[in-house]
Amino acid sequence: MSTYAYTRGTLVAAKVRVYNLNGWGAYSNANVAGASIKTTPTRMNTPVEVTASSSQMTVSWASLTATEDTGADSITYYSLEWN
């Protein structure tokens, strides 16, 4: 398998062939639907305080929605940390 420097959104169509002691077989048909290259999301915007009390705090943040921000994939989880 080779590694290529594809960029996010590049459509890649794959085909495969096999080898045995008698040589290489023919390539399969290409997967013409292909697969789009996806990447990790960009950095989230800074969360903002919505409400706060002595026992709890509510924060809010803007979701990433643009393809270049989401890495061309759905955002499935958020991790919120505090110190």
Over 48-68, what HEC string results?
Answer: EEEEECCCCEEEECCCCCCHH
Query: How would you write the pLDDT of the chain (83 residues) with one tens digit per residue?
Result: 556 677 888 888 888 999 999 999 999 998 888 788 888 899 998 999 899 999 999 999 999 999 889 988 889 988 888 87
For the chain, what is the mean pLDDT?
Answer: 87
> Model's pTM, two decimal places?
0.55
What pLDDT, on a 0 to 100 scale, did the predictor assign at position 24?
Answer: 94
List residues bridging with 59 in a β-sheet.
49
> The tokens 């002691």 sit on which residue?
21
